[in-house]
């Protein structure tokens, strides 16, 4: 009887252990499902557009500028100003006195005052045609000589660089489909071009940008800090990736997959020995000549996702986020004060807080029974393994806290997809990347988009000057 009871007790213990393991497994699965349901643009890499129109997404911690919406105090306005040489002037004089008792004729009255009011209006769309007549003459020796056409005048009837620039502008700067660019030029400019013309002109622009692309890669290669990132682009039912390497003054896009070779294909990163600001994508790790800095905004989102799932059990994530944001504030204040580095005491304080958050994270996320780590535990180890990358902005004030520069420069890819949809061919996507590199870099230098596009179709591409010594 005693033996039977012992067997029964042992069986109950084993059943209880299995139930406990099942309960723990279900807790983990429930936490993971809760985490996935709670993902949005503030706690993951999902774009803001995926949050949905009816979903109130909280602002990310430390991500807001603290400024109110709309025009900022002190920023320059854009009020329409009077010009000194209007094309037309119309003078309006009263004919008779407005006093009902008087009503005198005012044709010879002395002018008392004059008020200027100007109306700015678009001209009626009208294409301007210039005819080039190539005269041939016969010499006394019998030889016939014919005048050479001006540069760029190759056909009997063709559109000029202004029309070509407008077509590329509509496609590359306003992200319109080819057919809508065609209609726009016809309606607003009086140039009824075809869809095929727009496509051919964009292709020609990309081809003419070859020297600019090479020059841009050379400039970026010697910069001290580069922002890099990539985003998927829909291509004929599948995906390719648009890669960017950029600074506040330069932007270079190229197209490919997501492998190491695709990352290198832009010609900027191989051999680059500055600092690369990026996210956690592992394919960048082969760039061993460079220092690497992990985007703080991505890390804050990862910490927020862990903390929101289990606020009581993942308090370390809040401590780590506070540490990063504290370090961000300290570096920004140092830069604003004109300092080139933080003090040793400031750096030591940040590192001590960081180490404390790591220790707290390990305490709250011990290995499971078989030595495996939970998702939160893996995040703790990521912060331990990559602390040099994560705190790069602390020891080098030229390195920003976030990779927002690359994300802002990549945004037109998403705008293009929202407005015009997918790309049909890989060459079309590559042409878009080349044109966007040109227009984005020109805009950063204060250049007018239409001006640099006209220059592209006349004397050749505008070139940015070297910025680094």
Structure tokens of 386? 């990559």
**pLDDT-derived band at 319, boundaries 50, 70, 90:** very high
The answer to whether residue 302 sits within a structural domain is yes
Q: In what order do the strands lie in the sheet with 291-294?
A: 251-256, 238-246, 225-235, 275-278, 291-294
Distance CA 379, CA 365 (A): 10
pTM of the predicted structure, to 2 decimals:
0.81
46-60, 109-123, 239-253: which is most confident: 239-253
Which alpha helices (DSSP H) does 253-314 contain, by range? 260-264, 296-309
Q: Among 180-189, 245-254, 390-399, whose mean pLDDT is lowest?
A: 180-189
**Residues paired with 189 in a beta bridge:** none
List pLDDT tens digits, range 321-359. 999 999 999 999 999 999 999 999 999 999 999 999 999
Beta strands 275-278 and 291-294, pairing class: parallel
List pLDDT tens digits, range 381-400. 999 999 999 999 999 999 99
Q: Among 156-160, 267-271, 464-468, whose mean pLDDT is lowest?
A: 464-468
- The residues, ordered by sequence, that sit 6+ positions from 21 with a Cβ below 8 Å of its Cβ are 369
Which alpha helices (DSSP H) does 59-193 contain, by range? 161-172, 178-189
Q: Assess whether pLDDT exceeds 70 at residue 31.
A: no
Q: State whether residue 225 is helix, strand or coil.
A: strand
**pLDDT-derived band at 304, boundaries 50, 70, 90:** very high
Burial of residue 436 (number of CB atoms within 10 Å: 0-12, 13-18, 19+): buried
Q: Which helix (H) or strand (E) holds 14?
A: helix 2-37
Distance CA 378, CA 41 (A): 21
Distance CA 226, CA 246 (A): 6
Distance CA 361, CA 299 (A): 15
Structure tokens of 203? 């292709």
pLDDT, averaged across the chain: 88
pLDDT score recorded for residue 53: 47
The answer to whether residue 138 sits within a structural domain is no
Distances (CA, A) of 145 to 139, 228, 285: 8, 56, 64
Which DSSP state fits 43?
A: T
- The residues, ordered by sequence, that sit 6+ positions from 458 with a Cβ below 8 Å of its Cβ are 151, 152, 161
Query: Is 291:274 a contact under the CB 8 Å cutoff?
Result: yes
In the chain the first and final C-alpha atoms are separated, in Å, by 91
The answer to whether residue 371 sits within a structural domain is yes
pLDDT score recorded for residue 54: 56
pLDDT score recorded for residue 50: 55
- Residue of 262, 202, 232 whose CA lies nearest to 435: 202
pLDDT score recorded for residue 385: 95
Q: Among 20-24, 278-282, 378-382, whose mean pLDDT is lowest?
A: 20-24
Pick 18 or 172 by higher pLDDT: 172
Q: Total domain count for the chain?
A: 1
Q: State whether residue 255 is helix, strand or coil.
A: strand
- The residues, ordered by sequence, that sit 6+ positions from 368 with a Cβ below 8 Å of its Cβ are 374
The answer to whether residue 192 sits within a structural domain is no
pLDDT score recorded for residue 115: 94
Place of tokens 């990358």: 389
The answer to whether residue 303 sits within a structural domain is yes
Sign of CA dihedral 186, 189, 191, 194: negative
For residue 332, give its domain range.
296-395
Q: Assess whether pLDDT exceeds 50 at residue 173.
A: yes
Pick 372 or 48 by higher pLDDT: 372
237-241, 255-259, 433-437: which is most confident: 433-437
**Around Cβ 346, how many Cβ atoms within 10 Å?**
16
Distance CA 447, CA 462 (A): 9
pLDDT score recorded for residue 232: 94
Q: What's the CA angle centered on 444, arms 442 and 445, to 5 degrees?
A: 65
Please report, for the chain, how many H helices and E strands are present, in that order.
Answer: 15, 7
pLDDT score recorded for residue 469: 42
**Around Cβ 102, how many Cβ atoms within 10 Å?**
9
Q: What is the mean pLDDT of residues 118-144?
A: 90
Q: Assess whether pLDDT exceeds 90 at residue 67.
A: no
Sign of CA dihedral 359, 364, 367, 369: positive
The answer to whether residue 334 sits within a structural domain is yes
**Around Cβ 153, how many Cβ atoms within 10 Å?**
13
The answer to whether residue 254 sits within a structural domain is no
Which DSSP state fits 110?
A: P
Pick 450 or 68 by higher pLDDT: 450
pLDDT score recorded for residue 372: 86
Q: Assess whether pLDDT exceeds 80 at residue 152.
A: yes
Distance CA 393, CA 221 (A): 20
The answer to whether residue 25 sits within a structural domain is no
Counting residues of the chain whose pLDDT is more than 90, the rounded percentage is: 68
Place of tokens 């080098």: 396
**pLDDT-derived band at 19, boundaries 50, 70, 90:** confident
Q: What is the mean pLDDT of residues 361-373?
A: 86
- Residue of 438, 442, 467 whose CA lies nearest to 213: 438
Place of tokens 């069986």: 11
């Amino acid at each position: 009887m005693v033996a039977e009871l012992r067997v029964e007790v042992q069986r109950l213990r084993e059943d209880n252990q299995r139930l406990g393991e099942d309960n723990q497994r279900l807790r983990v699965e429930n936490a993971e499902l809760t985490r996935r349901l709670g993902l949005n643009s503030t706690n993951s890499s999902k774009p803001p557009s995926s949050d949905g129109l009816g979903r109130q997404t909280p602002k990310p911690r430390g991500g807001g500028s603290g400024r109110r919406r709309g025009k900022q105090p002190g920023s320059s306005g854009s009020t329409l100003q009077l010009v000194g040489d209007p094309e037309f002037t119309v003078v309006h004089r009263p004919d008779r006195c407005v006093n009902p008792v008087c009503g005198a004729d005012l044709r010879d009255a002395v002018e008392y005052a004059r008020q200027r009011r100007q109306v700015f209006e678009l001209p009626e769309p009208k294409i301007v045609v210039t005819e080039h007549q190539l005269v041939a003459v016969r010499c006394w020796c019998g030889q016939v000589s014919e005048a050479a056409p001006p540069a760029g005048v190759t056909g009997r009837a063709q559109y000029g660089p202004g029309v070509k620039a407008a077509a590329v502008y509509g496609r590359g700067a306003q992200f319109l489909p080819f057919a809508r660019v065609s209609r726009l030029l016809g309606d607003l400019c009086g140039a009824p071009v075809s869809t095929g013309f727009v496509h051919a002109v964009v292709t020609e622009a990309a081809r003419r940008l070859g020297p600019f692309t090479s020059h841009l890669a050379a400039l970026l290669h010697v910069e001290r800090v580069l922002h890099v990132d990539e985003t998927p682009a829909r291509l004929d039912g599948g995906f390719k990736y648009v890669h960017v390497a950029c600074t506040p003054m330069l932007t270079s896009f190229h197209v490919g997959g997501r492998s190491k070779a695709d990352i290198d294909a832009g010609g900027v990163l191989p051999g680059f020995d500055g600092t690369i600001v990026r996210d956690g994508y592992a394919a960048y790790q082969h760039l061993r000549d460079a220092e690497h800095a992990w985007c703080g905004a991505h890390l804050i989102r990862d910490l927020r996702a862990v903390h929101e799932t289990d606020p009581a059990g993942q308090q370390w994530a809040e401590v780590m986020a506070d540490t990063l944001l504290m370090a961000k504030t300290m570096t920004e204040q140092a830069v604003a004060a004109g300092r080139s580095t933080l003090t040793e005491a400031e750096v030591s304080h940040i590192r001590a807080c960081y180490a404390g958050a790591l220790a707290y994270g390990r305490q709250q996320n011990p290995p499971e029974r078989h030595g495996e780590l939970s998702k939160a535990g893996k995040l703790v180890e990521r912060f331990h393994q990559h602390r040099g990358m994560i705190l790069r902005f602390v020891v080098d004030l030229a390195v920003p806290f976030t990779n927002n520069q690359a994300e802002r420069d990549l945004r037109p890819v998403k705008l293009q997809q929202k407005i015009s949809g997918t790309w049909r061919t890989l060459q079309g996507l590559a042409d878009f990347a080349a044109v966007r590199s040109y227009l984005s870099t020109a805009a950063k230098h204060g250049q007018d988009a239409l001006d640099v596009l006209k220059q592209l179709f006349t004397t050749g591409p505008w070139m940015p000057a070297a910025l680094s010594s």
